[in-house]
Amino acid sequence: MPFRHAIHSVMLSGMNTGLPFTTPGQRIGLLGGSFDPPHAGHVHITRQAMRRFGLDRVWWIVSPGNPLKAARPADFKRRLAACRALVQHPRIIVSDFEARIGTRYTAETLARLMVIKRDVDFVWLMGADNLAQFHHWENWRGIMHSLPIGVLARPDDVVAAGLSPAAQTYRQWRLRMAAAKTLPGTTPPCWSLVTGAMVDMSSTKLRNSGEWIR
């Protein structure tokens, strides 16, 4: 174990991370975001991810904030409660892990998570819109080399997603759509992009409509 991971392991050994029980070899997708607010589209993309990537579970990692957005999201506890109220599926778990350990960036959150759950096959999940800006994320290459990445896109978004800087940089490590279910457990860097019908809904639309009062 690298020295910095050993330090993280010691630091987290006495912390209540709130993570659910797992078994060795379990295939778990991680969907991170501010969920401001959560909506049916999040549930739909999660169910699609479980089916297309052959996942046993998906954890929603609700973030206290988004470093790429200037505006602060709604109260964290309110967003967390809204996620838990929305999700009615035994294989979808809403987690406050990032808030508990106090990390700011996804790369750091994943590094610590993978120390605690070293025998689990994690897959980072994102939509095509996030892939388009992925190269702006803190240590995005480190994320690419840490775990497989599953991208879900509407058919109309495939070309734009495939031309994104991250997709072009790692194009030789892209798995074909037909092999998407082999993504969990594949040695990174590796990623796969799958398409399907998506719910036409976004957190931004809900906030602008006034249905979600901040």
Which one-letter amino acid corresponds to residue 172? Q
Strands (E) in 117-182, as ranges, are: 121-127, 149-153, 174-175
pLDDT tens digits, 7-47: 454 345 446 788 999 999 999 999 999 998 899 989 999 99
The encoded tokens of residue 1 equal 């174990």
Q: What is the mean pLDDT of residues 149-177?
A: 92
Per-residue pLDDT for 1 more than 50? no
Percent of the chain with pLDDT over 70: 81
The encoded tokens of residue 136 equal 């702006």
Q: Report the pLDDT value the prediction gives residue 198, as an integer from 0 to 100.
A: 56
pLDDT band at residue 191, thresholds of 50, 70 and 90?
very high
The whole-angstrom separation of Cα 195 and Cα 114 is 28
Domains and CATH numbers, the chain: 22-209 (3.40.50.620)
Give the SS3 label for residue 124.
strand
Q: How many CB atoms lie within 10 A of CB 34?
A: 18
Write the DSSP assignment of 18-40 as a string of letters: -PPP--TT-EEEEEEE--SS--H
The encoded tokens of residue 185 equal 């457990």
pTM of the model as a whole: 0.85
CA quadruple 71, 151, 29, 14: dihedral positive or negative? negative
